[in-house]
Amino acid sequence: MAADIKIRRKGLFKSEIKLTDLLKDDLEIGIQNGSYVLKDFEGQDKVWLIIYNPKNIGRGISIFYDNKLKGDINLYVSLPTASVDFDVLYKVMQRIENKIKIKDIEIDGELLSMNEVPAKLDKLKTFSRDYIKDINTEEHSSLTIFAAMFPITMGKEQMENFKFNPYLFDEWLNEKQQEDVYYPTAQFYKDNEGSYIGVYVLSTDATSVFPVKPHVPVGFELKDEEVSWKTAIFSSKQEEVIGELPYEKFVELLELEDAETFCEGMKYITLSETLALSLFDMECRKFVGDFYLETEEIDNDNPSWADVQAELERTDYDEDDPPFVVLDFAEPIFDMQYIQAAWEPDHSFIVELRIGKEDNFKHYRTQTKDRAKMIKFFKTVYEKQHLDYSDWEDVTKEF
């Protein structure tokens, strides 16, 4: 809910109002993206902007920026909100009054003079306070506030505290938005099959806040269950995305549910470069091509067959550091996930094959002293041909 304000001008010749005239040196401005996260304003036209007090941040007030503010001025303040936002609103209205001739002011359909505005804002402030006091915590276990900088969700315990003392709500909004954290926004795209993929990007070496359960922002014509969710890890050192994880896997590996709480449903996370790299075992690595080749010494995200063959031919047993070669598949090949080989002291090769899905798989093993035969196994799957493993041993119970 919101209070709508319209300021109508007098006269035919309507001058421009510069945003700097409204902001001066005590207010700041931005534009919210589709996930309601505040970004820098870059001069777009016909957009709603957020004006707020950077020293005491509430939900801010909204102003419609159209034709350099040469026409009537439209504003609104979302409710409930912090007391500071009514101060920001009145300050902006005064600065508008200093720049133009005002015909009339309309707040929620009521025509007012500028002298009558403070009393009206006091009534709205009281309404906002009463709304917080009257929240029904039996019906609502949480409530999301679309604040100036980003959405913040209060849980039941917080709502009970705010009901007892609504001024704590103001303090809470400001404290959360003053924190130096990265608040991610979901990016959506369709895969080759037309299914929706939602991706949150996490940057290393920066404190972020992430949802335990990903969700589609308000206003999108999608439902949470229609989206397959992922987390992409951006390396601040390499300045590129180094890999992706299924969101559930990301939550599990980072133990996100047990992390410190930022707000209801959101957790703090600081991911070091070293930890980020350690997350990507063979099923989570970013594929550039169809295969990923891994040994003790190399990680090749787009190997040719010559690359694979060279590793299989040159590798020999090392007692101090037993070698292995893994060929992972970006997409299953005849339901195969990966093939791997390990070198044994008797100069034989143990070859293993993973079949099925991550949570429902079979694992097969065979052993041979014939290097050429072992290489042929790898070549068959690299060429995306069916590999006959019918006489291999089923060792699934070992996993």
CB-CB contact of 392 with 364 (8 Å): yes
pLDDT of residue 280: 67
Same domain, 120 and 26: yes
pLDDT of residue 289: 67
Q: Which range (52-56, 62-66, 240-244, 326-330) has the least confidence? A: 240-244
Same domain, 211 and 265: yes
Mean pLDDT, residues 137-151: 91
Q: Can you give the residue range of the structural domain that contains 309?
A: 291-398
pLDDT of residue 13: 65
For the chain, the average pLDDT equals: 89
Q: How many domains does the chain have?
A: 3
pLDDT in tens, 173-215: 999 999 999 998 888 888 777 888 889 999 988 899 999 998 8
Mean pLDDT, residues 252-268: 90
CA 52 to chain centre: 24
DSSP three-state, residue 359: coil
Last-in-domain residue among 254, 279, 304: 279
Same domain, 70 and 115: yes
Same domain, 91 and 205: no
Rg of the chain over Cα atoms, rounded to whole angstroms, equals 30
Q: Is the pLDDT of residue 246 over 80?
A: yes
> Quick check: is 115 in a domain?
yes
206-234 burial string, b = 16+ CB within 10 Å, else e? eebbbbeebbbbeebeeeeeebebbbbbb
pLDDT band at 221 (very low <50, low <70, confident <90, very high): confident
Share of the chain above pLDDT 90, in %: 56
Residues sharing a CB contact under 8 Å with residue 272, sequence separation 6 or more, in sequence order: 204, 205
Mean pLDDT, residues 22-41: 93
Same domain, 124 and 231: no
> Quick check: is 258 in a domain?
yes
The DSSP element (H or E) to which 348 belongs, if any, is none
pLDDT band at 252 (very low <50, low <70, confident <90, very high): confident
Same domain, 69 and 123: yes
Pull the structure tokens for residue 334. 């005849």
pLDDT in tens, 343-386: 999 999 999 999 988 778 999 999 999 999 999 999 999 999 99
CB-CB contact of 15 with 67 (8 Å): no
Same domain, 341 and 223: no
SS (H, E, C) 233-261: EEECCCCEEEEEEEHHHHHHHCCHHHCCE
pLDDT of residue 396: 93
Pull the structure tokens for residue 349. 């090769």
> Quick check: is 147 in a domain?
no
Same domain, 269 and 298: no
Q: Is the pLDDT of residue 334 over 80?
A: yes
Q: State the CB neighbour count (10 A cutoff) for residue 132.
A: 22
> Quick check: is 8 in a domain?
yes
Same domain, 304 and 215: no
Separation of alpha carbons 396 and 355, rounded Å:
10
Q: Is the pLDDT of residue 29 over 90?
A: yes
Last-in-domain residue among 63, 98, 129: 129
Share of the chain above pLDDT 70, in %: 97
> Quick check: is 61 in a domain?
yes
pLDDT in tens, 90-100: 999 999 999 88
Pairing between strand 73-78 and 61-65?
A: antiparallel
Same domain, 268 and 308: no
Same domain, 256 and 340: no
Same domain, 123 and 19: yes
